[in-house]
Amino acid sequence: MLEVGSWVLGGIVAFLVVEKGVRHLKGGHGHGHGHSHAMQVSGYLNLAADVAHNVTDGMAIGASFAAGTAVGTVTALTVLLHEVPHEVGDLAILVQAGCSKRK
């Protein structure tokens, strides 16, 4: 449990550092000259985080099916219900970062 907790804490700290770096690029609180560049960076960060998220979702589904078909089915359904609003949120972030809806 200590190892898992350490990894979770490390992830939180890493994302905090990344967020502070993006804010620095934006010039404080988003009012600096680097605003459009920072928005592009936020889009790439969102894509990178989404890749990691989807990999872990896939690992959870695979491990659940290894435990049994019923557990795997419930996990897959849960992930699907979680992913629909999550991907809508990702679309909003990417559009705000300068990507077109089609892209």
Among the listed residues 81, 47, 52, 79, the one whose alpha carbon sits nearest the alpha carbon of residue 65: 79
89: containing domain: 1-21+35-99
Decide if 26 is inside a domain: no
Higher pLDDT, 70 or 50: 70
Kindly state the tokens that stand for 2. Answer: 């200590």
- The number of domains in the chain is 1
22-47 per-position pLDDT tens digit = 666 655 554 444 455 556 777 888 88
Please check whether residue 79 is in contact with residue 61, taking contact to mean a CB–CB distance below 8 angstroms.
Answer: yes
The model scores a pTM over 0.85: no
63-102 per-position pLDDT tens digit = 999 999 999 999 999 999 988 888 888 888 888 888 877 7
Decide if 58 is inside a domain: yes
Rounded Cα distance between 86 and 91, Å, is: 9
